Amino acid sequence: MNKYQRLVIIVALINALIMVLFPPFNSQPLAKGMLPSFDGFYPLISHIGSKQIHKELLTLQLMFLSINTLIAWLVLQTKKHQDDIPAFSFMQGIVWFLVLNLALIFIFPPFEPYQSMLRSDGSSFDSFYFAFGDRSRRPLFVPLLYLECLLVVINALTFLLLFNAVKRSDDVTRQRIIQMTENLPDETLLEIGAAIQHKVEQHQIHQQSHALGRGTDRRHKSVPFAGADRRHGDERRNE
């Protein structure tokens, strides 16, 4: 796990903690025969006994977060050579994260139920539907759509600040190493370079030895038999 992956995990855990501490709740209708509807996001401690948690919406939130975390983990798995740096520009990755998530949010936005078009008691959340499907004429539930976009933008800006801070720290460390090596004699630099090259070669050999079919296997070599031949007569074979 590199440092960028650790940042992704930390931010994902913080998001999951916020979603659990401020889950979506359903309202308790006063009239008989009415189903509970989405009320809003409230602190878990203050409303856990008085209102019912909207489990479906909370599950969708956690699934959306998990999928984004897994994709970011896999993308950041690649590295440049032996460095702890992703093999792509993280700025481009953040932009793609922002664009794809916002596109997904607007393709499957939250809609209001049909009853909210006829009644004047305020809007409420029904579910997420395809924006160009048969429910496209229903009104959007703007508060939840606004919160989704705001959460995605905040996460994108957070990753931008964190990744920039890590990159600046790496650049400062490299500059300090370069300044230190400039004051060293040539013999010491050659010894350090040889030691680093030896470490790299040992690491490559270690990786090849654990790879399937790449290890040093004497079955792949033609080694002549050097001992005494105990076969006699017709048992001998022409080489």
Per-residue confidence at 202, pLDDT binned at 50, 70, 90?
Answer: confident
* Radius of gyration of the chain from its Cα atoms, rounded to whole angstroms: 31
Q: Does the pLDDT at position 121 exceed 70?
A: no
What is the mean predicted confidence (pLDDT) over 113-124? 60
Residue 3 above 60 pLDDT? Answer: yes
108 within 8 A of 129, measured Cβ to Cβ? yes
Rounded CA separation 147/19 (Å): 12
Highest mean pLDDT among 91-95, 115-119, 180-184, 193-197: 91-95
Q: Which residues pair with residue 52 across a beta bridge?
A: 26
Q: Which residue has the higher pLDDT, 113 or 158?
A: 158
pLDDT, tens only, 71-111? 999 888 865 544 445 555 778 889 999 999 999 999 999 98
**Spatial distance between the Cα atoms of 150 and 165, rounded to a whole number of angstroms:** 23
Please classify residue 160 by burial: count the beta carbons closer than 10 Å to its beta carbon, then call 0-12 exposed, 13-18 middle and 19+ buried.
Answer: middle
What per-residue confidence (pLDDT) applies to 227?
52
pLDDT for 13 beyond 70: yes
Q: Which of 29-43, 76-90, 220-234 comes out lowest in average pLDDT?
A: 220-234
Which residue, chain included where needed, has tokens 């975390």? 69
For position 231, what pLDDT does the model report? 56
Residue of 67, 60, 47, 69 whose CA lies nearest to 147: 60
Q: Exposed e or buried b for every residue in 150-159, given b needs 16+ CB within 10 A? A: ebbeebbeeb
